[in-house]
Amino acid sequence: MSRETEENHIRKEGLSDRLLAVASMVTPGSVVCDVGCDHGYVSIYLVDHQVCPRVIAMDVNEGPLKAAMEHVREAGLLPYIEIRLSDGVTALEPGEADCLIIAGMGGRLMERILTEGRGQIATMKEVILQPQSEIAAFRKFLREQGYALLSENMIFEDGKYYPMMKVAPGKVRNTETVLWQQVYDRYGFLLLQEKHPVLHQFLVWEENHNREIMEKLIRQQAATGTNERRTQRLEQLKQETELRRMALSCYEE
C-alpha cells in the first residue's frame, strides 16, 4: 500500500491530516497518554501501525470514551489500549507514560491541564501539543514554564492553519530579545528557523487579510472621524505587521 493510499485509508477511519501529523511526532516505542482522545483514532493508529506498544486513552466525557472503546474493540486492540475517564491527566499515575498528546483544545484549557498535571508530566520524555486557539499566549506559557522545544509542524486543512509542537519538561533559559521573542511566540521558533512552507503561506495570507482590515478602518476614520476603539485596533494591527515582517525576513536569509 502506497503512503498516499495508506493516508487516505486512515482518513476514512477518522484520522485527519492534522491528527496524522500529530501522531507522526510521537517517538517510536513510546508509551503514550492521549488526553482528549475523542473517538480513539490517534490511539488506534499509534498501536495499529506499531509506533507504540501501549496507549492510555483518556477523555473527560463518557460519550466519546464509549465510542473509543467500541472502535478499539473493533480494531482488536483492547490488550494494548486502555480507556480511562479523566479530567486532564488526573487518572494517570507518575511514570505510567513517557509521552503525552493533547490535541484539538484551546490554549487556555491546555495550560490548565499541564499546570494541574505537573507531577505526572515532569517525568515524561516528550509532550505533543496542538492548540486550537491563543497560540502566542500558549507558546509563551510553555517558554515560561521551562519546556524545551524539540520540533514543530504546521498543517493547512479545510481552510484552517494548525500549528503543533513537541516539547520536553525541563529548565530552559530564555536568551532572545523581547521583540524577537514576541515573533517566536506568535509564529514558532523552529517553524521560522526551518522556513516551514505552510507558515510562509499563513504569513502571506495574514499580511493580505490584515491589510484589508487596516484599509477599511482608515476609510471609516476618513468618513466618520476617529474613535478610541478604532485607533487602538489600528495600533494593534501596526504592531502585528512589524512582528509579521520580522518573521517574513527569516525566509529571505
- Averaged confidence pLDDT in the chain: 89
| pLDDT interval class at 109 (50, 70, 90) | very high
Burial of 124-138, coded b for 16+ CB within 10 Å and e otherwise, reads: bebbbbbbbebbbeb
Question: Could you read off the pLDDT of 70-80 as tens digits, one per residue?
Answer: 999 999 999 99
CB neighbour class for 112 (10 Å; exposed up to 12, middle 13-18, buried from 19): middle
Question: Could you read off the pLDDT of 6-27 as tens digits, one per residue?
Answer: 344 444 456 899 999 999 999 9
Question: Could you read off the pLDDT of 157-216 as tens digits, one per residue?
Answer: 999 999 999 999 976 666 667 889 999 999 999 999 999 999 999 999 999 999 998 888
pLDDT given for residue 5 in this prediction: 40
**How far does Cα 198 stand from its chain's mean position?**
14
Q: Cα–Cα distance between 103 and 178 in angstroms, integer?
A: 28
Backbone φ and ψ for 100, nearest 5 degrees, come out as -115, 135
